[in-house]
Every structure is written in C-alpha cells, then in structure tokens.
Amino acid sequence: MGRDKINCVVKLVSMQPGVHINTEIAMEVHYARSIEHKRILPLIASIKHGDHVYLVSPRMKCDLKEALPYIVSLKSRLIIALEIAEGISYLHSRGIVHRDIKAPNILLDDGNHVKIADLGLCKAEAMMNASIVGTPLHMPPEVSLGVRYDKSVDVYAFGILLWFIHDGTGRLPQNLIIGLLMCPPMMSALGFRPERLSHFNEKLWSLMEECWQPDHAKRPSFDIITKDLQSIIRSLR
C-alpha cells in the first residue's frame, strides 16, 4: 500500500556538553510526541545520530513574525490570535506551560492556521520553579525577578503578542525599545509596557492590559481570553 506524502522540514540540533540545551531537546521531543492538537506543531520523528539530533515536522508556510505585515485585515489577524489562544488553552488543560510564547514560535500553514512550535521550554505547571527562561520582550515581572510563577506567564506573553497582532506592522513598541535599551531582563518589573496606538480597538486594548497585569493573579485565563476574542471578532465588519 502506498503512503501519503508529507512535505517535511528537518531541524538539526547539535548536542552540547552543557546540560541546558540537551534538556530543551529532550523536552521538545517529549511534549511534541505526547501532545496531539490541531494548534500544536506535531513531531513526525526524532533521530539521534552521533552528536546531532534531527527533529522532523511538517513544513509550514512561515512564522507569524514574517506573516503579520501581509495580513491586512484586523479580523484575519484576530482569528490567528484566537487560534493561538486555543492552542495555549489546550496546553494549560494538560497542566503544561509553554513559557516562550512569541511570534517566531507561532507557525502558519498554507491556510493561515496556527501551529504552536518550539516546545523545548515547556514544563508541567506542578514542577514549575523560579528559573528565568523565555524572551525578555515577553517576560513577565515574576520571571525576571526570579520568583516562583505559574501558567499565567503564558497569559502575559500572549498579551504582548496581541499588541503585535493588532498593530500588524512588525515594529517594536516604543516603550519596549526604551526598556530593552535600559534593562532588558527587568523591563517588565520596572513597569515597561507597550503603548496604546491611535488605531487600537478599545476592547482589544483592555484585553491586552488585563493580560499583562503585574499581579499574575489578576490575569485572565485562556478560557476568558478566547471568549473575549470571539466577541471582538464578531463585532468587526
């Protein structure tokens, strides 16, 4: 019997003497194999050969960072945001925290549907500690301060990502540029947040602000985020 052909991409990772990168590879393989959801990029195979690991996954069209300037309609961009929220909501329902939600880790297929990738920093919420991981631009105060945190770190990161999705140009917020120049690892703890632009939808801006609350207990769950996004999308022409 014949088999369906799948257009694949191979990610080559060199094993290093340091523990950190090897742990990330192991985690990416573990979670990609154990999670089956339409919004999570599947891992077709992992092959270890000498000091290298080959991770095989379906080929996607591009990542969200590349795509945003070409998606003119706000409604289309928010549908992508909704699909990201659905994917993260599923991870959270499994007790898994992604910890590195950002545009380059959001892949799009030919139909502009979302596949969340790079699961190397994922961790079971029950095993979370105060380790400082992620990308400074999307890092909430509790992570930069090195205190224990929970799944709401993904909510904060999503709120920052939502700013980029709404703006649609790919540019950095001016406020965060200043924060990156002053003190990148601590900028969220120092109160740096993206500025509101004149064309921003009021309800969407309010949702962003809720997501990047400094008090993690006040951030909404992804169930609430999903409902809010659905309501905002319905309100758009």
**Please, what's the largest Cα pairwise distance for the chain?**
61
Q: Find all residues with CB under 8 Å of 119, minimum gap 6, and list them.
A: 27, 28, 31, 32, 35, 40, 98
Backbone angles phi, psi at 44, to 5 degrees: -80, -40
Which residues have a catalytic role annotated?
100
Cβ proximity of 44 and 57 under 8 Å = yes
Contact 190, 183 (CB under 8 A): yes
Residues 6+ apart with CB under 8 A from 219: 152, 155, 156, 159, 210, 211, 212, 213
